[in-house]
A and B are shown apart, each in its own frame.
Chain A
Amino acid sequence: MFEAILITIATAATPLLLASMGELVVERSGVLNLGVEGMMIMGAVTGFGVAAMTGSAWLGVFAAAIVGTLFSLLFGFLTLTLVTNQVATGLSLTLLGLGLSSMIGESFVGRAGVRLGALDIPYLTEIPYIGRLIFGQDPLCYISLLLTAGVSWFLFRTRAGLTLRSVGDNHSSAHALGIPVIRIRYLAVMFGGACAGLAGAYLSLVYVPQWVENMTAGRGWIALALVVFASWRPWRVLAGAYLFGAVTIGQLHAQALGYGIPPQLLSSLPYLATIIVLVLISRNRRLTMMNTPASLGRPFVPDR
């Protein structure tokens, strides 16, 4: 029972981890993309549709990442090339994504989906207690963990990562040094889109292998909050995502057990937890000031 709960926590945490890891890179480059929810839901509908049509869950995953990237390019073109307001543009990406996905997915409602199966390594997965936990998760779960390590290594151990962070901290200086600010931001935004697409595909191919309108249910926004909560550090995002996974699964179990607490109030727990966590982390102004990428959300027009 306990083991099963731990496994499901990973399932609830993985989509959050994927989406926030992408957004973390985007924000480190100085761009605030509030369209995570929109890119995620587009990934979810694409992943479901492609997998259902081709019968291959992996093709669905792949297509979702591509559509997430394309969708993020829309945001990139507006905010980076046309220097529109990032907050408003991100919002419009979310609104458009929610609308577009419900239109595309209308015929998918109620259709059986394809599930991306869990890993099954002979012998290892059968180890009692920890076998399924460590060796029996779905592949995307492992990918999300690798991604965390990869992003952490990239940002803090490579030259390219340093360049990306410098763009996010002071785009004018970076530009003066000859760093292609806009190009780097485009790449970061695209990476964020691909990750959000993957996160969406995870929802419609692993978490619940079906298509439900608005199935992201605010996870894109929680992912955004996680980046703030983690003060833009990859490993803290991982911790945050699993914490939220635990809250989500915990309230689901509490609903199943009853306790006489109305299910709607339990369902609102992850959202309330997000608020509480944000308050706790941001009340320390110095900590926030120190970690926030200094150019976050600021428009950049190179002076020629």
Chain B
Amino acid sequence: MRIELVKRPQQSVLFSVLSPFIALALTLIAGALLFLLLGKDPVNTLYVFFIEPLRETWSLHELAVKAAPLILIAIGLSVCFLSNNWNIGAEGQFIIGAMAGSILPVMFPDFQSWIVLPLMLLMGIAGGAAYAAVPAVLKVRFNTNEILTSLMLVYVAQLFLDWMVRGPWRNPEGFNFPETRSFHEYAILPEIWSASGRAHWGFIFGLVAALALWFMMTKTLRGFEIKVLGQSPRAGRFAGFSQGRIVFFAFLLSGALAGLAGLSEVSGAIGQLRPVISPGYGFTAIIVAFLGRLNPLGVVAAGLVLALTYLGGEAAQISVGLSDKVVRVFQGMILFFVLAGDTFIHYRIRFVSAPAAAAGEASRANV
């Protein structure tokens, strides 16, 4: 038996709406099998993983805390991916943004004023954008593959953070723990509704950015330019769009948003710098971007789903004794199923049994 693809005359609207849901359903089925394999009751574990975290107010707040960086990074990445620029170094831009924004509270702890937080946000954005500018410059100027350079810079950023936190930026009153001093009150990103939980303004930033970029992509010339250059660089050039400018735009935008995400995370959720400040948000955001079908509004929903896997992983570890490593397997599976599902948007699948195929060839030969 053979699988044949038949190109659809038009993209299937049905499948482009359904494919993320099909992917999630398949992930749940595969997840249930995985739990069974690990000797856990699949139904109960799925319940703990995906329903329990949604039942209490405080954990809804936690969901927003986890979703904030994912959404912020992923909307930037989806614009980037749409323009056919493969920035996969968001994790590094996240770290550098967080570090740039932390300069004020860590190095100048006595500078305490309401202006500190806005400055930190700007510095975080600038830091992330500057770090993303490196692969963009190398791509435009030297034709260097941006996938490899942006990824290499992740490792460099991680090592740089590790050094700063253990070395120059270590808290002088911190008993030699590898962490910076805790941010003072003016450097903390406020909680949205502190009476009920921890969710901070990073989540709001994510929603605002999603709306803004949705507007840009659907209603402005810039959005059109990005899509045209992404799908057909040649057609874009004929239209007078500059490839190089879009490379910079896409990288700076996604870097800036990743930097904002990093700063929001350290200032809103952690309150200081540590050797590791992200459980791989920059990479998980790639999955978020694809699950959201590279649409800023879709990304918000997808960000909540992926945030749920983090929470579910924690819950399942506590109540079912499941390894927290399962989370990353889950996330990887989602991306696989999403990508496979996208095939159905453009193609119809036909299963051809071997004899029939041979008969088909024979009849064609007769013609």
Contacts and interface: CB of A to CB of B under 8 A. Distances in A.
A37 to B, nearest CB: 9
B159 A78 contact: no
B148 A279 contact: no
Given A96-B329, A268-B156, A268-B160, A87 B167 contact: no
Interface stretch (A8-16, A114-122, A153-161, A220-228): A220-228
Contact of B145 (A82, A95, A106, A278): A278
A288 B332 contact: no
A78 B326 contact: no
Given A279-B138, A282-B143, A304 B339 contact: no
Interface string A250-286: 0000000000001011011001101100110011010
Interface string A223-251: 01100100000000000000000000000
B3 interface: yes
Contacts of A282: 142-145
B147 interface: yes
| Secondary structure dominating the interface of B | helix
Interface in B125-166: 138, 141-145, 147-149, 151-153, 155-156, 159-160, 162-163, 166
B205 interface: no
Given A103-B325, A268-B155, A92 B138 contact: no
A265 B271 CA distance: 25
B336 A78 contact: yes
Contacts of B163: 262, 264-265
A1 to B, nearest CB: 27
A82 B152 contact: no
B325 A74 contact: no
Q: How large is the interface on B (under 10, 10 to 19, 20 to 34, 35 or more residues)?
A: 35 or more
Report which residue of A34, A96, A217, A285 has the largest number of chain B beta carbons within 10 angstroms of its beta carbon. Answer: A96
B343 interface: yes
A40 to B, nearest CB: 14
A19 B151 CA distance: 18
A73 to B, nearest CB: 13
Nearest to B150: A275
Contacts of A78: 336, 339-340
A84 B148 contact: no
A72 interface: no
A224 B323 CA distance: 31
Interface in A165-188: none
B149 A278 contact: yes
B273 interface: no
Report which residue of A34, A85, A102, A275 has the largest number of chain B beta carbons within 10 angstroms of its beta carbon. Answer: A275
A98 interface: yes
A83 interface: yes
Contacts of A283: 141-144
A98 B323 CA distance: 15
A1 B328 CA distance: 43
Interface in B72-93: 81, 86, 88
A225 B329 contact: no
B331 A99 contact: yes
Contact of B340 (A82, A102, A267, A285): A82
Contacts of B145: 225, 228, 278, 282
Contacts of B167: 262
A4 B179 CA distance: 38
Contacts of A221: 148, 151-152
A272 B7 CA distance: 43
A228 B328 CA distance: 30
A133 interface: no
A268 B156 CA distance: 5
A212 interface: no
Contact of A228 (B148, B155, B327, B332): B148
24 contacts: A84-B340, A91-B286, A91-B335, A92-B339, A95-B283, A95-B287, A95-B328, A96-B329, A96-B336, A99-B325, A99-B327, A103-B329, A224-B148, A225-B148, A264-B160, A264-B166, A265-B159, A265-B160, A268-B155, A275-B138, A275-B152, A275-B153, A278-B149, A304-B4
**8 tightest A-B contacts by CB?**
A99-B328, A96-B332, A264-B163, A92-B335, A103-B325, A283-B142, A264-B159, A82-B343
Given A99-B329, A99-B330, A103-B326, 10 more contacts: A84-B342, A85-B339, A85-B342, A88-B339, A99-B327, A103-B328, A265-B159, A275-B148, A283-B141, A283-B142
Interface of B: 3-5, 7, 81, 86, 88, 138, 141-145, 147-149, 151-153, 155-156, 159-160, 162-163, 166-167, 283, 286-287, 290, 323, 325-333, 335-336, 339-340, 342-343, 347
